[in-house]
């Protein structure tokens, strides 16, 4: 897979066109008229330029930082009945176009998507390094009941957390209990939303060694579909950026879906295998592919019943 180029985010305020000021040396009437004319011309040009920039469509590929979607990113979050939040295209996007790239809020070495196989101390250190804004964005992400149950079934992790907060942060009593409870929830959030990062620097080896797990708040809002219309890929260990590209043309207002279990795997699995793989996220998929497979299975059951009745 070729790594697409990534353009840095654009801060609109720093790219505003400045209106040239009239020269203070113009003292005669003609000079004043000329100066005024130039000023109006430059002002009109600046206004037209600003208006043109505002009317330009969002440009795919800009890097999202701190979970803040900018005006240049052609995506937005919306409520989805029965599925929490989802990510939608705000403009038409061509097939294979890079929708956005995103930097992680939090990275935890080793462990990937498996709760209990990470280093609790390094996870807590990463959590403590978050700014209040980044921590709030992280904690607002969904924690699947299955992941919370997995954390609750690992009392050793909670014990390590308690020891770390007591020894490193010198917390005691109610403050210690609150910090541990907060960290337990954070661990469930991490288990639900993290993406395994690979040792392969260009992200091209799907069988590469897992180096850890990274959490991307905007990417985490994308819902699953086995017949996904977008795909995600890792842009490199050094940058820790995740990219999302369109698998087909997307219309403005269309919801974006990725396959949590991979596009190829989803195509090769049976309905039962896909549901088993998705069980840790706590939902049952009803995408077009699954509905089609369910209908096919229902017909097979009906046909078998008819044959048994003969």
**What whole-number distance in Å separates Cα of residue 190 and Cα of residue 217?**
11
Are residues 220 and 247 both part of a single domain? Answer: yes
Read off the CATH number of the domain in which 268 is found. Answer: 2.170.270.10
> Is there a single domain that holds both residue 99 and residue 220?
yes
Residue 76 lies in a domain: yes
Please, which pLDDT band fits residue 73 given cuts at 50, 70 and 90? confident
Tell me: do 117 and 132 sit in the same domain.
yes
State pLDDT tens for residues 98-124. Answer: 899 998 888 887 644 444 445 788 888
Has residue 48 been placed in a domain? no
Is 190 found in the same domain as 110? yes
Q: Is residue 31 part of a domain?
A: no
User: Do 179 and 239 lie in a common domain?
Assistant: no
The string of pLDDT tens digits covering residues 131-172 is: 998 999 899 998 888 888 888 888 888 888 999 999 999 999
* Rg (alpha carbons) of the chain, rounded to whole number: 26
Q: In the Cβ-directed half-sphere of 268, how many Cα atoms lie within 13 Å?
A: 5
Assigned domain for 58 exists: no
* Residue 280: closest CA among 197, 221, 194: 194
Listed in sequence order, the residues at least 6 apart from 137 whose beta carbon sits closer than 8 Å to its beta carbon are: 66, 67, 105, 217
How many domains are contained in the chain? Answer: 2
Kindly tell me the number of DSSP H helices and DSSP E strands found in the chain.
Answer: 9, 11
252 and 225 in a single domain? The answer is yes
Work out the pLDDT band at 254, boundaries 50, 70, 90: very high
Are 95 and 164 found together in one domain? no
> Last residue of a domain, which of 195, 227, 244?
195
Q: Do residue 111 and residue 98 come from a single domain? A: no
CA distances from 191 to 82, 132, 148, 222 (A): 21, 21, 8, 16
Give the pLDDT band (50/70/90) at residue 230: very high
DSSP 15: G
Report how far Cα 4 is from the mean position of its chain's Cα atoms. Answer: 17
Residue 188: closest CA among 137, 220, 148, 160: 148
Q: Would you say residue 86 lies in a domain?
A: yes
DSSP string, 119-135: -HHHHHHHHHHS-HHHH
pLDDT above 70: percentage of residues in the chain: 71
186 and 110, same structural domain? yes
> Which residue matches tokens 């014990």?
159
* pLDDT confidence of residue 61: 55
Place 208 in a pLDDT band, splitting at 50, 70 and 90: low
Domain extent, residue 110, equals: 106-195
Q: Are residues 84 and 162 in the same domain?
A: no
Q: How confident is the model at residue 236 (pLDDT cuts 50, 70, 90)?
A: low
Range with lowest mean pLDDT among 107-111, 167-171, 190-194, 231-235: 107-111
The rounded distance, in Å, linking the Cα atoms of 237 and 192 is: 21
Mean local confidence (pLDDT), 23-37: 32
18 located within any domain? no
Q: Are residues 220 and 84 in the same domain?
A: yes
């Amino acid at each position: 897979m070729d790594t697409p180029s990534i353009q840095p985010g654009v801060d609109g305020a720093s790219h505003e066109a400045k209106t040239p000021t009239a020269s203070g040396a113009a003292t005669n009437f003609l000079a004043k008229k000329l100066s005024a004319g130039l000023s109006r011309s430059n002002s009109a040009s600046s206004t037209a330029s600003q208006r043109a920039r505002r009317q330009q469509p969002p440009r795919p590929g800009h890097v999202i930082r701190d979970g803040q979607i900018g005006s240049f990113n052609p995506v937005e979050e919306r409520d989805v009945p029965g599925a929490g939040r989802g990510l939608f295209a705000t403009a038409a996007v061509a097939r294979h176009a890079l929708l956005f790239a995103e930097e992680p809020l939090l990275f935890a070495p080793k462990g990937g998507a498996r709760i209990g196989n990470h280093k609790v101390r390094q996870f807590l250190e990463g959590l403590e390094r978050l700014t209040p804004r980044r921590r709030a964005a992280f904690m607002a992400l969904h924690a699947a009941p299955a992941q919370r149950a997995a954390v609750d079934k690992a009392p050793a992790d909670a014990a390590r957390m308690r020891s770390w907060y007591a020894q490193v942060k010198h917390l005691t009593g109610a403050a210690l209990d609150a910090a541990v409870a907060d960290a337990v929830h954070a661990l469930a959030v991490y288990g639900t939303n993290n993406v395994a990062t690979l040792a392969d620097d260009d992200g091209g080896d799907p069988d590469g060694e897992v180096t850890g797990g990274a959490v991307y708040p905007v990417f985490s809002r994308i819902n699953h579909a086995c017949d996904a219309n977008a795909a995600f890929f890792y842009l490199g260990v050094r940058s820790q950026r995740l990219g999302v590209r369109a698998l087909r043309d997307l219309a403005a207002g269309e919801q974006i879906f990725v396959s949590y279990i991979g596009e190829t795997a989803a195509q090769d699995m049976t309905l039962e295998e896909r549901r088993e793989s998705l069980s840790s996220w706590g939902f049952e998929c009803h995408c077009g592919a699954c509905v089609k497979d369910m209908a096919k299975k229902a017909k097979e059951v009906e046909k078998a019943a008819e044959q048994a009745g003969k």
